[in-house]
Structure formats: C-alpha cells, structure tokens
C-alpha cells in the first residue's frame, strides 16, 4: 500500500512532514479514472504558477503501472488530474524535466528491455515515445546534465537492487556509452538503486539512493558526487545515515524509498516522497 506525501525542510537532508498538510496527500482512492492499488515514485515540475506531479499508479485491472498526474498551486496541496501515459508494459518512476523548452520524461520501462525517452506533445496530458536511449534492462533511470555531458544512473540488477551503472552521452538522444568505472556500485543493496532526482545543494551534486536492506524500499540515503568526468567517478556519503525512513505507524510505517526535492524562493526545500504501510 504505497502512498505519496509532502515533506519540507531547510535542506533535502533535513526533511520532515509538511506542517500545513495532512499526509498522505495522494493515495490510491484519489485516482478516480482507474482502480489503483498503489501510487508511488512521484516527480514534480513547476510550469508557470502551477506544480505538476507525475507518479506511478498501479492499475488493478491490467496488473501494471501507468503514469498519472496531479496539480497544485503551492506544491503542498494536491488535486488529482488523470492518467497521462500508458503502455503495453509496466511504467513507473516518471523522471520528468524541461530541456531547451521541451518537457521530457524518462520513466522506468524495465519490461520493455530498454531505457526510453518520452516527449510531451501537449503538456501535461499527451506524451509520445521519442526514442530509445539505452538498449539494456534496468530500473529507475535517472538522467541529469552536468558540465557538457548527459549522464544516467541505472540499477542494472533490478531484482537484486544491488548494482548501479553509469552511462554518459554528449546529447540526450545519444549515443550513450557506459562509463569506464561502471558499474560504480556492485553487490550493495543499501546504496545502489536510485531514489529520485539528482539535485545541487549549496554547490554539491547529490544523488539519492534506496536502502533496500533488509527489504526493498526501507529507507533513502544521500551521496555527493565528488568527481565526475569521462574517465573517473568518485562519491561519498553526503550525510551520516538515512535521510528518510519508516515512521512508527501510519501511511509510511513500513518504509520510504523515494523523494524529489526542489528549492523554494525562501531558501527552504519541498519534496514529494512516498511510503508504504503494513
């Protein structure tokens, strides 16, 4: 039973449930155009004065995930909109971003056997397949632009959750090649699988990772990218210990495994997160 909440704080490393909302802000009954068994993997983007949240909704009738959308004027209080993307295979982790005036999405398309790019024909409701980025099986692809290159983190052992690979390209459309240090994480379920958008915090480039030990979706940790070049990659824990984890009870009483954090004009941060109950 996965649901979505809103957290706020002075930094992505110090987030707490937003004081002005009642979490979860989105749960399966809020999805009214399909029968959803869970909602998870939320990503937000602000367009004009409106915030849009894209997330996985597990469609009970077809037994696979689709991508749905909700809207907000303040990133705190949300109204469900509709399902905006469905494929013959499972969709999740809708990593949405803007680049050169276009709205793009790289969702998890594990069951399609590749990492795929989608482009909004009419944002936020209409999305079209724009090309295959990486011809390999992987979970939670997380693209970002740094320096003059594009990069993608990808969990290439999606059922073990213990391997993190890194790919790079000069252009978003490719060609993509694997970094010479990849896989950068091997055999470690606590720090391998991506857990949301790569962000910059006070000049530090941060990736978030799922802690899948002892079970999938237990906690979220943060790592700082210390050195990222075509030839080298090094990172270190950004803070000691997890930054998100299960509450003692309630909608996130068993675990949390994702966040998408955004800076606000007043210097604080807001994040959409997910969690599951027993």
Confidence of residue 122 (pLDDT cuts 50, 70, 90): very high
pLDDT in tens, 242-255: 999 999 899 999 99
Asked if residue 273 lies in contact with residue 251, where contact means CB atoms within 8 angstroms, the answer is: no
Q: Measure the CA–CA gap between 261 and 255, rounded to whole angstroms.
A: 18
- pLDDT band of residue 14 (cuts 50, 70, 90) is very high
Neighbours of 226 (CB within 10 A): 12
CATH number, domain 2-276:
2.115.10.20
The DSSP bridge partners found for residue 276 are 2, 255
Tokens of 131: 């090309």
Tell me, rounded to whole angstroms, the distance of Cα 147 from its chain centroid: 22
pLDDT of residue 135: 97
Tokens at residue 133, please? 């980025």
Element (H, E) at 96: strand 92-99
Average pLDDT over residues 76-97: 98
Other C-beta atoms lying within 10 Å of the C-beta of residue 51: 21
Looking at residue 130, its pLDDT comes to 98
- Chain-centroid distance, C-alpha 199: 11
Instruction: Give me the residue label for tokens 């000691």.
Output: 240
The whole-model pTM stands at: 0.98
Residue 64 is predicted with a pLDDT of 98
- The chain-wide mean pLDDT, for the chain, equals 97
* pLDDT of 182: 98
Name the pLDDT band for 156 (thresholds 50, 70, 90): very high
pLDDT at position 278 over 80: no
Rg of the chain on CA atoms, in Å: 17
| pLDDT computed for residue 213 by the predictor | 96
DSSP for 110-143, written as a single string: GGGTSEEEEEEEETTTEEEEEEEEE-S--EEEEE
pLDDT of residue 105: 99
pLDDT at site 246: 96
Question: What average pLDDT score do residues 97-126 get?
Answer: 98
Model pLDDT, residue 54? 99
pLDDT band at 189; cut points 50, 70, 90: very high
pLDDT of 36 > 90? The answer is yes
């Amino acid at each position: 039973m996965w649901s979505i909440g809103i957290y706020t704080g002075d930094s992505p490393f110090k987030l707490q449930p937003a004081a002005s909302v009642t979490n979860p802000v989105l749960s399966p009954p809020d999805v009214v155009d399909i029968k959803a068994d869970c909602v998870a993997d939320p990503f937000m983007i602000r367009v004009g004065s409106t915030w849009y949240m894209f997330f996985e909704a597990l469609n009970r009738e077809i037994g696979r995930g689709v991508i749905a959308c909700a809207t907000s004027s303040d990133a705190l209080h949300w109204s469900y909109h509709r399902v905006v993307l469905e494929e013959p295979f499972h969709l999740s982790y809708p990593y949405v971003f803007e680049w050169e005036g276009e709205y793009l999405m790289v969702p998890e398309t594990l069951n399609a056997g590749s990492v795929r790019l989608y482009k909004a024909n009419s944002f936020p409701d209409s999305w079209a397949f724009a090309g295959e980025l990486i011809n390999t099986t992987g979970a939670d692809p997380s693209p970002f632009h740094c320096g003059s290159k594009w990069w993608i983190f990808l969990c290439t052992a999606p059922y073990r959750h213990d391997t993190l690979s890194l790919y790079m390209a000069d252009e978003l459309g490719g060609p993509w090649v694997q970094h010479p240090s990849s896989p950068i994480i091997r055999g470690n379920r606590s720090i391998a699988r991506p857990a949301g958008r790569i962000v910059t915090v006070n000049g530090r480039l941060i990736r978030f990772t799922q802690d899948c030990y002892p079970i999938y979706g237990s906690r979220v940790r943060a790592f700082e990218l210390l050195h990222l070049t075509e030839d080298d990659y090094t990172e270190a824990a950004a803070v000691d210990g997890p930054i998100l984890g299960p509450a003692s009870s309630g909608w996130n009483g068993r675990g949390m495994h994702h966040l998408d954090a955004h800076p606000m004009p007043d210097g604080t941060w807001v994040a959409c997160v997910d969690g599951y109950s027993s």
